[in-house]
Amino acid sequence: MEAKAIARFVKISPRKARVVANLVRGMDVGQALKTLTFAKRAAAIPIKKVVESAVANARQADSAIDVDALFIKNLQVDMGSTRHMRRWRPRAMGRATRIVKGTSHIAVVLDIR
């Protein structure tokens, strides 16, 4: 039985989020949550929330499910739309460019071992 959760438009760049995603991919859920709790990366907080949401979705689908038997089957971080901040950065020769901040889509799939 698979359970999944998706967080869209998370305000962190995908490159930074993939570092944390590679750290916990394939782990048991309990071990992954402990690792994410003590990871000193900003991306650990939203990834932890998505994993907890996927666990809650698994419990909602089947109340008799053993949460300790769940593991992270798939953890994917994709690039969201690039939204600019309505602010401008000065450039050479009197020009200006937009300030662009990255967003991410984080998808987690849990399965039973």
Measure Cα distances from 48 to 84, 92, 98, 101 in Å: 26, 42, 31, 22
Residue 29 pLDDT grade (very low, low, confident, very high; cuts 50, 70, 90): very high
Contact 16, 46 (CB under 8 A): no
Residue 40 pLDDT grade (very low, low, confident, very high; cuts 50, 70, 90): very high
Q: Tell me, what's the pLDDT at 3?
A: 95
What domains, with CATH codes, occur in the chain?
3-112 (3.90.470.10)
Residue 85 has pLDDT above 80, yes or no: no
Residue 43 pLDDT grade (very low, low, confident, very high; cuts 50, 70, 90): very high
Element (H, E) at 85: strand 83-90
Measure Cα distances from 19 to 67, 71, 75, 107, 112 in Å: 25, 19, 12, 15, 25
Measure Cα distances from 29 to 7, 47, 78 in Å: 18, 12, 21
- Structure tokens of 15? 């490159």
How distant is the alpha carbon of residue 22 from its chain centre? 11
Q: What is the pTM of this model?
A: 0.88
